[in-house]
Amino acid sequence: MNRTHHIRMKTNRKVLKWFIAGIILLAAMCQTTNVQARFVYPVTASLQLVPPYSVYLPDYAAPGNDKLRVILTLNDLTQPSYTVRLRLKVEFNGKVIMQTDPAYRPLGITILPGMPQIITGVQLSELLLSDHMQFMNGFSRENYERTKALPEGAYRICVTAYDYNRSDDVAVSNDGCNIFFFQKNEAPLLNYPLCNTRVERKEPQFLTFTWSIRNTPSFVTGSMGTGYRFELFEVRPAGSNAEYIVRSSKPVYTVTTDAAMLTYGPGLPRLLDSMQYVWRVQAYDKDGRDAYQNNGYSQACVFTYGGVDPFVANNIGKAELLGDALGERSGKWWWHLNNAQKVDGWNIQYRKKGDSANKSSGYSWNKQYLADTLFHLFNLEPDNSYEAQVQPIIKGITGFWSETVPIRTAQKRVYECGKNDTANNGLGAAAAGQPLNTAVAGMVIRVGSFDMQLLEVSGGNGRFTGYGAVATPLLGMRLNVKFADVQINDRLQLTQGEVVALTDGIDAWIKDRAQTHDDVNTIKDWKETMPNFDTDSLATLQDFAKELFGPIRMYLLNRKEKM
C-alpha cells in the first residue's frame, strides 16, 4: 500500500514538473509575441493614392503626377542618413496578384532622420513597370499588358522598405498599406435625339447628335485622351429590338470624333423619311487602355426621322386616366383615349406620393411598358397615397402624358374581439372584387382579421395553393401556415378556403411560453457575476448555462435543438 502511494506521489510530482515547465514556456512565448508587437522599425512607411484612380499602375509614374505617394520616415535619429530600396505588393480580393520581383534592384532612396520624405511620380516609375513585377494567382502579365488595366474590384496596395546595401529579405519598415476600389469609367450618356421620339425632317437634312461623358477626364499628363466612335443603323424591319439591330447589322454611317457631338449634314448618307434609326456611341482610350465599362458602348437609342406625327395627324390628345384603391394593400388604374384610336402600347409611371408641403420628400417614378389599359399595383402600404400617369406609343413615337391621378389605400384594420366584419375582411358573399389573376411570393393577403405573407404560392385565376406566415399581434408571434385551393380577389383578400397553422398545438405553445417565462425570471434573479458573452469561450458559456438552468434543462434544450 505504501509502495503504491509512493509511486503515485512520484508520478504526480513528474506531471506537476512538466505542467510548470509548460506554463513557463507559454509565458515566454507570450512575452516574445508582445515584444514583436511592440517592435519599432527603423523606417516608417505609408502609402497614399489620390482619386480619381487609374486601373493601370504605370499611369501613377507619369511626369508631374503625384496621385501615388509613398511617405518614408527614418526613426533612428543616430543615423545621419539611410539608403533604402522599395518593394510593392498588390492584393486583389485578398490574394496577391502582383509584387516586385525579388531579383530586381531598384535605385536607392536616401532618407534623413525625423524628416518625412514624399516619393512620387518619376521616382516610382521603375517600380511600377510590369517587367519588374511578379504575376501570380491567375493574373497574367500578357493580359495586363494587352488591356493596360487591372480588373475592377477592391485592392490593397502595400509598400515595404529594405536596406539598400543588404541582399537579404529582412524588412526595415512596416508594410505601408492602403485599400482602394478600382472601377472603369462609365460609357457615354446619349442626350439627343431622345430615345423613342420623332425628329423633324429638314431640307437640306440637318441633325445634331449629342452625348455626355460621365467621368472626369484622365489625370495622366501627356495622355492622348478619349475618342468617340459614332454608329448609325437603320431599323429593318420596323419595330425590331435596338440591341438586336446593332449586333446583327452593319451601320449605315460610322465616324470617330474627339467631340461629344456630331453634326449630321447634307453631305452624309441621306436619312429616309419615316424610317426608324438606332444610334450609339463607343468611348475608347486612345492609349489603348481597357478603361470603359461595356467596352465603352452606350445604350442603343431608337428615333424616327421625319414622317407624320400620328398624334397630331389623328388629333390624339391625353389619355383619360382613372384609379381606385383596392383595400389596404393594392390599387389599380385604367384608362382610354377619347377618340378610340388604336395604339401600339403604353408607358406608365407610378410612385408613392410625397408630402406636398415638402418638395424634397418626393419619391422617384417607377416606369413600365404595358400593352393593356389596366394596371394593378400590389404590396402597397395602408393609409398612403400613390399616383400614376400614362403615355401612349404609336410606331415608336410617344404622345402626351396624362394628368396625374392619385389613389389612397384604406387604413389598416385593427382586430376587435367579437366583431365579425366579414365584408371588409373579404369573407363571404359580401366580399367585393374580382379574382386575382396571379400571385407571387412576398404578397400580403388579408385573412379575416390577420395579414398573411405568401412564402410559396402556385395557381392562378383566383385559386391558389401554398405556404405563408401570419403575424398575430395578440399572441406576439409569427405562425407558419399552409393553404390549398383558396380563393383570393384583386383586393388581396382571401374570400373562401382554409388556412391551417403549422404548429404542435395550443397546449405545446402554452407550455413553451411558460418555460420561456420561467427562464427569463431565472436570469433576472441571478445574483452572481454574468459572463462576457462577446469574449468568453464557448465552454465558459456552457458551464454558466448549466449552473443557471441545471443539467436536466440543458439536456432538454440541446435535444430540442437537434430535433
Please state, as a whole number, how many other Cβ atoms lie within 10 Å of the Cβ of residue 499: 18
What's the mean pLDDT in 382-396? 89
When mean pLDDT is compared over 128-132, 170-174, 358-362, 526-530, the highest value belongs to: 170-174
Determine the average pLDDT of the residues in 475-490.
Answer: 84
Percent of the chain residues topping a pLDDT of 90: 35
pLDDT of residue 443: 87
Mean local confidence (pLDDT), 20-42:
57
pLDDT for res 554? 43
Query: Residue 534 pLDDT more than 70?
Result: no
Using only C-alpha atoms, what is the Rg of the chain?
37
Please report the pLDDT score of residue 518 as a whole number: 63
348-356: list long-range contacts, CB under 8 Å, 24+ apart. Answer: 348/375, 348/388, 348/389, 348/390, 348/391, 349/388, 349/389, 350/375, 350/377, 350/386, 350/387, 350/388, 351/386, 351/387, 351/388, 352/381, 352/384, 352/385, 352/386, 353/384, 353/385, 353/386, 353/387, 353/406
The mean-pLDDT minimum among 60-74, 110-124, 325-339 falls in: 60-74
Render pLDDT for 187-203 as a digit per residue (tens, 0 to 9).
999 999 988 888 888 88
pLDDT at 274 over 70: yes
Find the mean pLDDT for residues 104-132. 88
Q: What is the residue whose three cell numbers read 435535444? A: 559
The mean pLDDT of the chain is 81
Residue 169 contacts by C-beta under 8 Å, 6 or more apart in sequence? 102, 162
Q: How far apart are CA 322 and CA 483, in angstroms?
A: 34
Between 308 and 210, the more confident residue is 210
Cβ atoms of residues 428 and 448 within 8 Å:
no
Higher pLDDT pick, 145 / 429: 145
Q: Which residue do the cell numbers 403615355 mark?
A: 391
pLDDT at 163 over 90: yes
Nearest to 426 by CA among 462, 375, 400: 462
- 433 or 514, higher pLDDT: 433
pLDDT-based confidence at 562, cuts 50/70/90? very low
What is the distance of C-alpha 428 from the center of its chain?
45
The pLDDT of residue 492? 85
**CB-CB contact of 79 with 45 (8 Å):** no
pLDDT at position 265, please? Answer: 93
Q: For strand 494-496 and strand 477-488, is the pairing parallel, antiparallel, or unpaired?
A: antiparallel
**pLDDT attached to residue 339:** 73
pTM: 0.52
Give residue-wise pLDDT tens across range 328-377: 888 899 999 877 678 888 999 999 987 765 555 578 899 898 988 999 88
Closest CA to 158 of 37, 39, 45, 38: 45
Q: Which amino acid is at 246?
A: V
Q: Is the pLDDT of residue 317 over 50?
A: yes
Cα separation, 75 vs 103, whole angstroms: 27
Across the range 85-105, mean pLDDT stands at: 92
Kindly report the length of the chain. Answer: 563
- C-alpha to C-alpha distances, 529 to 259, 522, 525, 526, 554, nearest whole angstrom: 73, 14, 12, 8, 20
pLDDT on residue 359: 57
> What's the DSSP call for residue 329?
S
pLDDT of residue 411: 87
The span from the CA of 103 to the CA of 88, in Å, is: 13
What would the mean pLDDT of 269-275 be, rounded to a whole number?
Answer: 91
3-state DSSP helix/strand/coil percent for the chain, to nearest 5?
A: 20, 35, 45
Q: What CA–CA distance (Å, rounded) separates 120 from 61?
A: 7
Give the pLDDT of residue 513: 59
What pLDDT, on a 0 to 100 scale, did the predictor assign at position 403?
Answer: 94
Confidence label for 73 from pLDDT (cuts 50, 70 and 90): very high
pLDDT (tens digit per residue) in 390-430:
999 887 678 889 999 999 998 877 655 555 555 555 554 44
**550 confidence band (pLDDT: 50, 70, 90):** low
What's the mean pLDDT in 10-39?
52
Predicted local confidence at residue 559, as pLDDT: 40
Who has greater pLDDT, 365 or 24? Answer: 365
Distance CA 354, CA 499 (A): 37
Lowest mean pLDDT among 74-88, 235-249, 469-483: 469-483
Give the model's pLDDT for residue 18: 55
Q: Given pLDDT bands bounded at 50, 70 and 90, which one contains residue 284?
A: very high
